[in-house]
Structure formats: C-alpha cells, structure tokens
Amino acid sequence: MSESSFYQSPLARVHNQSYGQHARLAAQELLRQLGKQGHQQGLIVGLGCGSGILEEAMSREGYDVLGVDYSTALIGIARQRCPQGQFHVGALMDFEIPPCLAVTAVGEVLNYRFDERHQLENLLPLFERIYRSLQPGGIFLFDIIEPGIADGTPPVRLLENEHWDMALNFSEDKNAATLQREITLYLKEGALYRKSKEVHRLNLYRKEAVQQLLEQAGFAVATTSSFAGQALRRHHVGFVVKSKQINLNTT
Ligand SMILES: C[S@@+](CC[C@H](N)C(=O)[O-])C[C@H]1O[C@@H](n2cnc3c(N)ncnc32)[C@H](O)[C@@H]1O
C-alpha cells in the first residue's frame, strides 16, 4: 500500500478549494445532531478527514478535533486550516480511536480502496471499534456510495474553472461492485498548466448491507438522503448512527 499515490499535492489543493461543500454540510448535520442531545463539548474524530474542513467547523463551535488521513498533502492543509486540531497521516484501519463524542468518515471514505482492507467484511470490526470508542449518546456520521453510481453518467466528463481543468473518467464494474475514477488534472501555475493523474478505486456497498453490520455492532441506525437539509448526490447514502447506551430521539 502506498500513501503517496493518492490525493497528492495538486489534487489535494483542488479538493480543498472546490469540493468542500459536502464536509461543511456534514459538519452542520453533526452539530444539529449533537445539539439535539445537549452535547456542547467533547472530542470529534475524523477518519479520512482530508483537509480538515469538517474539523475546522467543529473546532470553531468549541469541540476538540482529531483527524487521520492517508494523504500527507491533505493533512498539511488541515494543520494550517485548524492549528488547534491534531492531525495524523495514516491508514484509518490502524488508527487507535480514543474515547470520543463523535466519529466521522465523510466523503465516501469507507468506499476507497487505497487500503485493500477496505472491504465489506472488514467493516464490522471497524464499526465495533468505533462503537466501543463512543461515549453514551455518541454519534457516528458517514456516507457511502452504492452500486449504480455510473448509470446515466457520461463515462468521461470535462470540468474546468479559472484555476484548473479536469478530465474525469468513470467506469463501474457491476459484477465486482467497484468503481474506478481516473482523474487527469491540469492545475494552472502562472501561465502554465501542471499535469497530474490519479486513479482511485472504490468498493460500492449496498445501504442494507452496511446497515446490517452497524446493527450487529450495536448501533441504532438511521440513514438519510440529505445533510443539513441539502440532498446528497445520487447513489450516496448518509448514516447518522448512535450508540444505544442511552435512550435517544433519532428524529
Ligand atoms: C473524498 S475525500 C473526503 C475528505 C474529507 N473527509 C472531506 O469531506 O473533505 C476521501 C478521503 O478519504 C481518505 N482516505 C481514503 N482511504 C483512507 C484510509 N484507508 N485511511 C485514511 N484515509 C483514507 C482520502 O485520503 C481522502 O482524503
């Protein structure tokens, strides 16, 4: 497994600048859920925290934050964005999750196959670990992509703005339930463009299968198609799951 091949500096910059809205909405959703339970302070652990957008939002609201991510470039941005947080480069499967109020894995984190251990059968031990780390009433908030994501999507898409151009090549293998995204990026640097390419492979999980594992781990599970009132992208499912240790209102 190689840490350095994914979300290297050019893609990390683009992700941070242009793809932060989902993490901002997830932070709002988490604040709403914690507020309902009267949890105004505590530790939030971000698995696959990326550039720390959610963590910064939570830190501004007075929570302590701790994040882990595979990408050195993204963790570098997170440390600058949120100096009060603690951020580590590493694989989430190896990360020792301390006792905490909430755990997040936002932005398809559990689908990524940067680490070959990210398979459906390995999610149960991870969910059990998260469950054990959460304090009573603690929340695990995350999202996944389901199979069918490439249906109706052009296999190649060209995106551009004033800072970069990107060619995105999608291919879904329905039998294997996997998705491959080839990302060719042209990042503007002065009068020139710097080209880089990354290939991301993801496992696609069905909502029901993930829900079953969460329940096996002990969680009270609620799925959602929106965070903070904003619809998630198609074939994306949000999970706001809670430890059953106290009586919770999940509406
Ligand atoms: C789409 S990004 C989302 C980042 C961030 N959570 C956000 O919403 O802005 C997915 C993130 O998951 C991280 N990731 C994927 N697999 C990982 C693993 N096994 N261990 C740690 N981080 C991982 C990637 O490096 C990347 O930062």
Structure tokens at 72: 């050195």
- Same domain? For 125 and 79 the reply is yes
Residue 245: the pLDDT is: 60
Q: Is residue 69 lining ligand 1, measured as CB closer than 6 Å?
A: yes
Find the CATH number of the domain harbouring 234: 3.40.50.150
Q: Could you read off the pLDDT of 104-117 as tens digits, one per residue? A: 999 999 999 999 99
Q: Are 119 and 198 members of one domain? A: no
Report which protein residue has its CA nearest ligand 1's atom 14.
Answer: 48
Q: Which of 237, 230, 233 has the alpha carbon at shortest distance from 27?
A: 230
Report the relative pairing of strands 43-47 and 64-69 from DSSP bridges: parallel
Q: From residue 198, how far is each of 114, 132, 185, 219 by CA, in Å?
A: 11, 35, 8, 35
> Using an 8 Å Cβ cutoff, are 237 and 212 in contact?
no
Provide the pLDDT for residue 138: 94
Counting ligand 1 atoms within 8 A of each CB, the residue from 11, 24, 70 with the most, and so the one to mutate, is 70
Mean pLDDT, rounded, for 61-85? 97
Assess whether the C-beta atom of 30 lies below 6 angstroms from ligand 1.
no
Q: For residue 173, give both structure tokens.
A: 């293998």
Q: Are residues 102 and 226 in the same domain?
A: yes
Structural domain boundaries, residue 196 = 156-202
- Where do the H-state alpha helices sit in 46-176? 53-60, 72-81, 120-133
Ligand 1 centre to CA of 60 (Å) is 22
> Could you read off the pLDDT of 182-232 as tens digits, one per residue?
999 999 989 899 999 999 999 999 999 999 999 999 999 999 999 999 999
* Residue 132 sits in the same domain as residue 181: no
Co-location of 171 and 59 in the same domain: no
Tell me: do 218 and 184 sit in the same domain.
no
Residue to substitute in 25, 112, 227 for testing ligand 1 pocket (most ligand atoms within 8 angstroms of CB): 112
Q: How far is the CA of 137 from the centre of ligand 1 (A)?
A: 25
Q: How many domains does the chain have?
A: 2
